[in-house]
Chains A and B, each alone.
Chain A
Amino acid sequence: MAINLTRRNFLKTASIAAAGIPLSKVVARAETGIAKAPLIPPGSFKDTKTVTGGICEMCFWRCQLVGKVRGDRLVKLEGNPKSIDNGQNLCARGNSGIKLVYDPDRLKYPMKNIGKRGAPKWQKISWDEALNICADKLQATIDKYGPKGIAVWYHGASAHYPNAYFDYLGVPNKYEPAFYQCRGQTAMAMMQTLGFVPNEDVDMPNSKAMLLVGCHIGENIHLSHVKNFLKGLENGSKVVVVDPRFSAAAAKAHIWVQIKPGTDTAFLLGLMNYMFDKEIYNKTFAKKYCLGLKRLKKHVAEWTVEKTAAECDIPAKQIVEVAELLAKNAPNVSIHPGRHAAWYGNDFQRVRANACLTAILGAMDCPGGIVRIKRMSSGHVHWPEVDHEEDPEEMALAEVVEKYPFRPPGTPPELMRDTMISGKPYPIKSLVVWGTNSIKTMPRQERTEKALANMDFILVTDVTPTDITMWADILLPEASYLERYGHVEKGTQWNQGDKPQQFLSARMPLIDPMFERKDPVWIINELAKRMGHGKDIPVRNQEEYVNHLLKETGLTIAKLRKLDGIYIQPGESPYLKKGEEPKFDTDSGKIELYSEAMEDEDFPPLPTYTKTAEPPKGFARMIYGRSPVHTFNRTANNAWLAREIPENPLWINDESAKKMGLKDGDRVFLENQDGKKSVSSTVVKTTPGIRKDCVFIAHGFGTFNPAMTVGFHKGIDDNSLNTKINREGETGISGMRINFVRVIKDGKVIDIPA
């Protein structure tokens, strides 16, 4: 065969040779991609190495991991055997990090959009050209409008260093969805009430009872957190889940309170009233450490069992049962603070109610309660302090408009977006987006697109294409979490009841980045040099960055590497010792059931319930949540995860479905109260496990960008149907569960019966 083929090529090439075409001259000008190398005989032994020091970022829980590397190829990820947090376990997403790294759709080179925003035409350009354009454009904005003319939308560990640079530039408006579409109120309302932010540090394994209001642990998989929940169950803790839907957590519950959506605050006030009325709350704790106990008692008195039951549409005896259970087991009860809280636009008050309930049960700093976990500390990298013509803090939009006094760090995104559209109170003309897909995170997408269209310049940096990358003028490819140094993770053994230990780990690359992907320290330093700030660069590269973060611990990358990526030392129990008094970092030094600070700002000083609008006839409330193998839209294009859960089934009550002529597996679109239709469709799941006044879909599906070839148009994008939002006065955070939908099947609109 070889002889024949050689003859074939001989015939073909003969005429070329005869024609005397200067091929060799032309090809000699280009650099070669293949070069001579030492001969390696076939069958040479190739070892699989274990590389330590990885920290997962498929979600934000940051499990510690190791990689199995063969040659230059990452073949498998596993939990770091040394981990006292996630241990050897990784979740489905953690395992699928490999598919992110080697996704052919991933960004590979810097690109310039020579088409339109939203309908891009890409030209691959050099880093030098890309960074020169970014420096020129950002400088032009600063020259014309000052640093306040730049907005930054960011998320994730890779944005920390860029963020520090934009602080140095004096950029006042920055937005992170972690606060404004997720945990903002949970953090701020807890802070305002208790004087500390418990995050989700709740000692479930050692509790006797747990209360989860809307938390669906098990669908929201944060590994050590799930371990805590399951250990609690194993240890016999009684679980109460308050959810309109039979969630994964509800499936494990002893009491499932199938509450009417939007009435959670009333439920919490009702529980407190019953406990006050029957005098079964933790009197000693409440009297000693709480401010405004009497006023709270009076305030909740209207929430009798009957009234609460009617408002929440639940049996009265369930309220009694839950209140008795929690009170009986106090203080060893886990009143879960929750995570995502941007539900109805009255959520600050709900979290305050949650904090007050925790307080009157004294469920903190003790086994089973919310605990103040004692972690090691590490440093920060700052750019030098410089004087700005305008004080960035004063120029922050919320300060200028004098609103949202209890907002989390940053600028409320819709406020920023309004400004980008109107130019008032001042123009914002350049946007930097770092590692977040704001098309999916911010409700009212048409407003976001309008704001984007209004910019002079948009820089987007990410690891993969997302919806918002289609709007970039310059698009930069970043090394993923497995290919760079970065985040320092600090924690303790996962079960607070076990022997106290502390750990520290720093992210180290398991493999080199491919193509021309770069780490954020390199990108920002190169940008800074081009903007004339080279002399102020605080760290020269990513290794120096991490060593700087580690400085106060006495550790270095080299030392951590010798320790297989994780340093462990004896820790301290988070439980109060006998005779030790708890401290509360509030204005009064006590837990503020009654908040004067809130009264001063004209907000209700005691947790207050406000009704949320009811669905119009023919519609049901759209509630959303998490899918256990996805992290919002970030994993939509991951081939392994998409194969497990490719879309987000629409949960609809089985009796309603029957009346509507819907059955499991039907394909449907959704239409909301404003006539907005979903671009893509999803599959129907009929179930008795959801109330009739709401339907459920998981968030993060229905990708718009066809460059995400796996996730494109799979399932429905819930956020595209969030055309109505309710911006809360305390924080500027918008509630999103106030949109209502009905179903479209085969082009026919079908009302959802009440």
Chain B
Amino acid sequence: MSATLADIFSFLALLMRYPEESFFDDEFLDTLEDLLKSIDLQPYQQRIAYWRSKVADQLLDAQVEYTRLFINGAPHVIAPPYGSVYLEGEQSLQGKSTETTRDFYRQYGFDIVNKAEPADHISLELEFLSCLYRQEEITAAEKFLHTFFLPWFEPFYQQLMPELRHPLYEVSMQLISFFVQEDQ
């Protein structure tokens, strides 16, 4: 089962990555819809299907929205997707928490590939979780979720919420939430 979890977190990581031609295509979006259906989130699946039927260039559309939400938007970047921005109260990248995040990766024998990106990008953290699940490091994955990921995921989601108009990102956030949150 952890192999499936590993795949799921890899997929979530891709949803939080800047959409590129190499992976963001019909098969990717079909998979997203299937995933939503399989966990009884049909209303979200229908929103994605509707968006796909209305927007011709889905890649460009997703890129522009991703840029607005997470990179440099106008009126302003909505929610920088880096842990340190939310954990350290100083709205800064590459903080102490970024360092401890990367240290955690390395303790489990992993590291970021592109050293130019901070280690606490949401996509990298999700991918790291996937790596842990793949190695059946379930306890470590839970520890990472609770001590690193969830403490900033909540305020990040709150900051993003009022601007989550785009079906792809609204659904992506719901989906991540579904897999990382405690059951109510």
Contacts and interface: CB of A to CB of B under 8 A. Distances in A.
Contacts of B92: 99, 102-104, 639
A316 B37 CA distance: 89
Given A30-B14, A42-B107, A15 B5 contact: no
Nearest to B10: A27
B115 interface: yes
Contacts of A109: 71
B68 to A, nearest CB: 7
A599 interface: no
B130 to A, nearest CB: 8
B29 to A, nearest CB: 10
Interface in A1-59: 1-2, 5-6, 8-10, 12-19, 21-27, 29-42, 44
A114 B64 CA distance: 9
A114 B138 CA distance: 44
A79 to B, nearest CB: 22
What 10 pairs across the A-B complex have the smallest Cβ distances? A706-B75, A37-B111, A27-B10, A104-B80, A23-B7, A40-B106, A19-B38, A30-B23, A102-B93, A39-B109
27 contacts: A9-B5, A9-B179, A16-B8, A19-B37, A22-B27, A23-B4, A23-B8, A23-B11, A26-B27, A27-B14, A33-B112, A34-B110, A36-B110, A40-B103, A44-B103, A71-B102, A102-B95, A105-B77, A107-B72, A108-B71, A122-B72, A123-B64, A124-B18, A124-B63, A515-B116, A707-B74, A707-B76
Contacts of A121: 64, 68, 74
B74 A470 contact: yes
B108 to A, nearest CB: 8
B163 interface: no
Contacts of B34: 19, 21
A40 B142 CA distance: 20
Interface in B111-147: 111-118, 121, 123-124, 127-128, 130-131, 138-139, 142
Interface in A79-132: 99, 101-105, 107-109, 111, 114-115, 119-124
A406 to B, nearest CB: 41
Contacts of B58: none
Contact of B109 (A12, A37, A103, A114): A37
A41 B107 CA distance: 5
Contacts of B35: 16, 21, 23
A709 interface: yes
A27 B7 contact: yes
B76 A1 contact: no
Interface string B54-83: 000000100110111001111111001010
A6 to B, nearest CB: 5
Contacts of A708: 76
A416 to B, nearest CB: 27
B51 interface: no
Interface of B: 1, 4-5, 7-8, 10-11, 13-14, 17-18, 20, 22-23, 27-28, 31, 34-35, 37-39, 60, 63-64, 66-68, 71-77, 80, 82, 85, 90-95, 98-99, 102-103, 105-118, 121, 123-124, 127-128, 130-131, 138-139, 142, 178-179, 182-183
Contacts of A710: 91
A73 interface: yes
B62 to A, nearest CB: 10
Contacts of B73: 122, 707
Interface of A: 1-2, 5-6, 8-10, 12-19, 21-27, 29-42, 44, 70-74, 99, 101-105, 107-109, 111, 114-115, 119-124, 465, 470, 512-516, 639, 705-710, 712
Contact of B142 (A1, A27, A36): A1
B64 A122 contact: yes
A244 to B, nearest CB: 38
A702 B130 CA distance: 45
Given A1-B142, A99-B92, A26 B39 contact: no
A111 B74 CA distance: 12
A37 B106 contact: yes
Contact of A17 (B4, B37, B99, B124): B4
B72 A105 contact: yes
B8 to A, nearest CB: 7
Nearest to B12: A27
A415 B132 CA distance: 63
Given A6-B138, A14-B1, A33 B111 contact: no
Contact of A514 (B10, B38, B90, B93): B93
A124 B4 contact: no
A23 B39 contact: no
Contact of A104 (B63, B67, B85): B85
Contacts of B182: 5, 8
B93 A16 contact: no
A116 to B, nearest CB: 10
Nearest to A465: B72
Contacts of B113: 31-35
A238 B1 CA distance: 82
Output the residue of A5, A21, A105, A708 with the most chain B CB within 10 A: A21
B14 A111 contact: no
B116 A514 contact: yes
Contacts of B11: 23, 26-27
Output the residue of B74, B112, B139 with the most chain A CB within 10 A: B74
Contacts of A29: 22-23
Given A33-B112, A102-B93, A102-B95, A707 B106 contact: no
Given A5-B182, A16-B38, A124-B67, A102 B14 contact: no
B153 to A, nearest CB: 15
Contacts of B124: 33-34
A709 B75 CA distance: 9
Output the residue of A16, A33, A74, A102 with the most chain B CB within 10 A: A33
Contacts of A34: 105, 110-113, 124, 127-128, 130-131
A108 B4 contact: no
Nearest to B31: A26
Nearest to A517: B116
B115 to A, nearest CB: 6
Contacts of B118: 514
B74 A639 contact: no
B64 to A, nearest CB: 5
B86 to A, nearest CB: 10
A8 B127 contact: no
Contact of B178 (A12, A14, A31, A512): A12
Nearest to B90: A639
Contacts of B91: 103-104, 639, 709-710
A709 B118 CA distance: 20
A104 B72 CA distance: 9
A286 to B, nearest CB: 58
A515 B117 contact: yes
B116 A12 contact: no
Contacts of A16: 4, 8, 35, 38-39
A120 B178 contact: no
A25 B179 CA distance: 20
Contact of A108 (B10, B72, B109): B72
A124 B18 CA distance: 9
A31 B18 CA distance: 12
A21 B34 CA distance: 7
Contact of A712 (B13, B22, B76): B76
B106 to A, nearest CB: 4
B94 A102 contact: yes
B109 to A, nearest CB: 4
B123 A33 contact: yes
Nearest to A115: B74
Given A122-B68, A123-B67, A639-B92, 20 more contacts: A2-B142, A8-B182, A9-B179, A12-B178, A13-B8, A21-B35, A26-B28, A27-B7, A27-B10, A33-B113, A34-B127, A34-B130, A73-B98, A102-B94, A104-B80, A108-B72, A124-B18, A514-B118, A707-B74, A709-B77
